[in-house]
Structures are given as C-alpha cells and as structure tokens.
Structure 1
Amino acid sequence: MDKVREKLALLRVESDAASAKLEEAHTRIKQLEQESLQKEQEIQSLTHRNSLLEAEVEKLEQRVQDSKLAADDGDGQRNAAENLQRKVALLEEELEQNDKNLRETTEKLRQVDVKAEHFERKVATLEQERDLLERKLEEMTDNHAKAKRELEEVIGQLDNL
C-alpha cells in the first residue's frame, strides 16, 4: 500500500512537472507569436520604405538623365549631375541594404514559424502524456479502492472466525 502511495506521489510529481512544462511551452508560444507579429510589421515597414526608395531612385535617375542632357551648357550642370549620381549611388546602396534587411527579417520570421510549430507539437505531446498519466492515475485509484474493499472484506471474515 505504501508502494501505491509512493507511485501516486511520483505520478503527481510527474503530472505537476508536465503541467509546468506545458505552461512554459504556452508562454514560449505566446512570446514567439509576438515576435512573429513584430517581424511581420518590420517587414511591412521595410517593404514600404523600399518602394519609396525605389520611386526616389527612379526620380533621381530621371534627373540624372536630364542633367546629362543639360551638361553641355556648362560645368555647373556637370557638378549637379555628379551630385545627383552620388546621391543615386547612395540611395542604391541604401536600397540594397534594405533589401538585405528584408531578406534577413523574412528568414528570421520563417525560423520563428518553424520554432512555433515545434513548440506546438511539443505541447500536443505533453498534453497526450498528461492525459495518459491522468488515465493511469484513475486506474490506480480504482485498483486501490478495490484492493481496500477486498482487504476490509477479508478482515471482516477473519473477525467473524
């Protein structure tokens, strides 16, 4: 009977540990979902900024072409064209950097999604384990009650002798 109690206590400890793991997994999932939402917002922001920069690059390229046509008029026009070309180069570099950031953020988002799926599967596994432990506990409780009744019957019969 002490062994049954010890097993019950052990099962309770395991059940409590599984519940704690489950809570941790839920907390981690919420955190990962929040990070995923932040990454999506960052992607949207970078995409918008990227489109604005592309539009500005197109405008500047047009101005560079206009400046090249007007460069025949003098050195002042050449300086303006050079300045615009430098500005275009800087904007293109910034555009490339934003594209790189967008790709990195997208990759991180994919990794977060993979981790979230992993934790969801882990939560499902832990829930199954918990359900199995609860069924075992119920069975052991029923067996314990049955054994107790049988013991009381035997004691009653011995008393009658």
Structure 2
Amino acid sequence: MDKFKEKLAALRDEVNAATLRCEESEAEVKRLKDDNLNKEHEITSLKNKLTFTETELEKAESKMAEAKLNLDEGETTKTVGEGLARKVSLLETELDSAERNLRETTEKLRQMDIKAEHFERKVQQLENERDTYERKVEDLTTKYNGIKIELEQTLASLEDL
C-alpha cells in the first residue's frame, strides 16, 4: 500500500513537473511571439524609413540635377550644388545603412520564426506528454479504486467468517 502511495506521489510529482515545463514553454512562446511582433514593427518602421529616405534621395537627386543646370550662374549655385551633393551622399549612406539594418532584421526575424516553430513543437510535445501522464494517472486511480473496493469486500467477507 505504501509503495502504491509512493508511486502515486511520484506520478503526481511528474505531472506537476510536466505542467510546470508546459507553463514555462508557453511563457517562452508568448515572449517569442512578442519579440516577433516587435521585430515586425521594427521592419515596418525600417521600410517606412527606407521609403522616406528614397523619396528624400529622389528629391536630392532632382535638386542636384537642377543645380548642375544652374552651375553657370555662379559661385553661389556651385555652393548649393556641393551642399546637395553632400546631402545625397549622406542620404545614400543612410540608405545603405537602412538596407543593411533591414537585411539584419529580416534575418533575425527568420531566426525568431525558426525558434518560435521549435518552441511550438516543444510545447506540443510537452502537451502530449502531459496528456499521456494524465491518462496514466486516471488509469492508476481507477485501478486503485477497484483494488480498494476489492480489499473492502475481502475484509468484509473475512469479518463475516
């Protein structure tokens, strides 16, 4: 009887441990989903910034083209053109940086997706384990109750003798 109680306690401990692992995994999946959402927002932000930078680049390029046409007008126009050229150079540098950040963020997002899928599979596995343990506990409880009833009947029949 004591062995049975010990086994039952061990099974309960295993179920509790499995439930704890499941809850931890679910929390990790939620955190990863939140991270994934943040990365998606960051990608959207970077795309908007890239679009804005491209627009600014187009504006700067058109201004630079105008400045080149007006180059004959004098030194003042030359200074403006140089300023615009520097601006274009800075915008191109920013564009390169934004594109690099976008690639890095996309790679990180892909890696996060892979991790999220891994953890989702792990959660599913743990849920399956939990279900298996729950079925085992139910089976053992049923067997225990059956044996208990049988024992009571046997004791009652022994008392009748």
Of 138-147 and 20-29, more deviation after overlay is shown by: 138-147
Within 1, Cα distance between the matches of 2:38 and 2:7? Answer: 46
- Cα offsets for 1:94-141 (capped at 9, x unmatched): 011111111111221222222221111111111111111111111112
Moved more, 112-121 or 147-156: 147-156
In the other structure, the counterpart of 2:28 is 28
> Is residue 63 of structure 1 aligned with residue 53 of structure 2?
no
Partner of 2:128: 128
Shift of 1:86: 0.9
Query: Which segments of structure 1 move beyond 6 Å, counting only runs of 4 or more?
Result: none
Structure 2 distance, partners of 1:60, 1:78, is 15
User: Aligned residue pairs: how many?
Assistant: 161
Identity %: 49
Query: Structure 1 CA distance, aligned partners of 2:131 and 2:23?
Result: 15
CA distance in 1 between counterparts of 2:157 and 2:43 reads 79
- 1:150 — aligned with what? 150
Structure 2 partner of 1:16: 16
TM-score normalized with structure 2 length: 0.91
Distance in 2 of aligned mates of 1:155 and 1:62: 101
The answer for unaligned runs of 5 or more in structure 1 is: none
Alignment TM-score, normalising by the size of structure 1: 0.91
Choose 143-152 or 103-112, whichever is displaced more: 143-152
Amino acid at match of 2:37: L
Cα distance in structure 2, aligned partners of 1:150 and 1:34? 54
- Cα distance, 1:89 vs structure 2: 0.4
Gaps of 5+ in 2: none
Aligned to 1:96: 96
CA distance in 2, matches of 1:55, 1:157: 94
Matches of 1:146 and 1:32, distance apart in 2: 46
Q: Distance in 2 between matches of 1:49 and 1:138?
A: 58
Shift of 1:160: 4.2
Aligned to 1:106: 106
Distance across 2 between alignment mates of 1:152 and 1:84: 97
Cα distance in 1 between the residues matched to 2:56 and 2:89: 12
Q: Cα RMSD between the aligned structures? A: 1.6
CA–CA distance in 1 between the matches of 2:55 and 2:134?
62
